[in-house]
Amino acid sequence: MDKIVIDGGNRLEGSVRINGAKNAALPIMAACLLLHGPSRIKGIPNIVDIQTQSDILRNLGGEVKKAEDGTLEILFRDGENNDKFTAPYELVRKMRASICVLGPLLSKRRRAKVSYPGGCVIGQRPIDLHIKGLTALGAQIETTEGYVNASADRLIGTKISFTGKTVLGTCNVMTAAVLAEGTTTIEYAACEPEVQDLANFLNKAGAKITGIGENKLIIEGVQELHGVDYEIIPDRIEAGTFIIAGAITKGNITLENARAEHLGAVIDKLQEIGVEITASDNTITVKGNDAYHAVDLMTLPYPGMPTDMQAQFMALLSVVEGKSIISEKIFPDRFIHAAELRRMGADIRVDGPSAIIRGTPFLSGTEVMISDLRAGAGLVLAGLVAKGTTQIHRIYHLDRGYERLEERLSRLGAAIKRM
């Protein structure tokens, strides 16, 4: 099995281009089930989760082709494969975001049978809000033998009020509602950039969605959606990971195709730590230094600090003098990586939904194991500055969300390789 080996201590310099957002691409790919005619989606990263979603769409009768420039062309032929409405366990178990085919299947084929999703182990992530929203639209749903079974003769617009923020739940209800009769209102909708990107994609395809970027979405049902050419937004989590790579190595790197407006909480907190960050157009430059300060941070729904950046910040704060506290408000159990960082010499104590970090002068290279995608990113960042050699195992988690991470870090000057 592959592993990543890092000889720490190299300062990163240079530029790196940020790929399209994984968490925008996956629901947009699923939404192609709704469209008449082919769609061409640019900016799709070459990662395992995209391959898995492509396999799910092919299993549902879709044609998924990849061009040389990475553009995906997706086509579902009208009137064909309507008897294919099952997303099986062997595919869905590989990633949680595969649940986002539930809404489009129900809307277009009136039936959906989707396995309960898998993915990283980062805490409980129930889908009760997905079911609540789709039921309100008129679906009959039961869960048996590990599958969500949904059917509806027709979907009718209504008012839906979520009791908590759910990104994929918002995506599922939105994609079900665009072809429903009448108007659907989603209150307390998630407003993450990836949700906005899905809404903008659907609108370009002929949907009528307003309130994009706000907590209240209004969706007027339409008769038909058509295929489109679309470029997804840059991946804000990948961008944040590279920014911290520059910060933790006291480097000087420039990110191309990165949107600072999607990274407000991340940039603000890094500047509070003492990292120099400048942004213009679609570029972000990060310059590290020797005068960092301990901080406290809390993960929150957008526009707050992303939970997907928590592990990366933990790696950075492990080598920042003073006491920092990270409070995890999204997934309170998402601290498995703390034990691996402690193996590298980090002083971290987990107390319920918080981690107390006392910065140490240095980390030491050793063998560590990845528990989830973003934990893997945090361990790679720690390895970049650890004394000696760090060997990182179970890197298949990393491959779910980062395209050739070790190669791109190597081009910036890191002594890193896959073995």
- To the nearest whole percent, how much of the chain has pLDDT over 70? 98
Alpha-carbon gap, residue 55 to 61, rounded angstroms: 10
Alpha-carbon gap, residue 101 to 32, rounded angstroms: 10
- Check if the beta carbon of residue 278 is closer than 8 Å to that of residue 254: no
Active site annotation includes 32: no
Fold of 22-231: UDP-n-acetylglucosamine1-carboxyvinyl-transferase; Chain (3.65.10)
CATH for 4-19+234-418, options being 3.65.10.10, 3.30.1280.10, 3.40.50.150, 3.40.50.620? 3.65.10.10
Please check the confidence at residue 234 and state whether its pLDDT lies above 70.
Answer: yes
- Check if the beta carbon of residue 57 is closer than 8 Å to that of residue 74: yes
Please check the confidence at residue 52 and state whether its pLDDT lies above 70.
Answer: yes
Please check the confidence at residue 124 and state whether its pLDDT lies above 60.
Answer: no
**Residue 397 burial (10 A CB sphere; 0-12, 13-18, 19+):** buried
Q: What is the mean pLDDT of residues 124-133?
A: 82
Q: Indicate whether this model's pTM tops 0.85.
A: yes
Mean pLDDT for the chain overall: 95
Annotated active-site residue in 32, 120, 171, 191 = 120
Domains 4-19+234-418 and 22-231 share a fold: yes
Please check the confidence at residue 247 and state whether its pLDDT lies above 60.
Answer: yes
pLDDT at position 171? 97
Alpha-carbon gap, residue 272 to 284, rounded angstroms: 17
pLDDT at position 118? 58
Residue 286 backbone class (left: φ over 0; alpha: ψ -120 to 50; beta: rest): beta
Please check the confidence at residue 40 and state whether its pLDDT lies above 90.
Answer: yes
pLDDT confidence bin for 79, thresholds 50/70/90: confident
| Lookup result for tokens 């704060």 | 317
Q: What is the mean pLDDT of residues 67-81?
A: 89
Domain locations in the chain as residue ranges = 4-19+234-418, 22-231
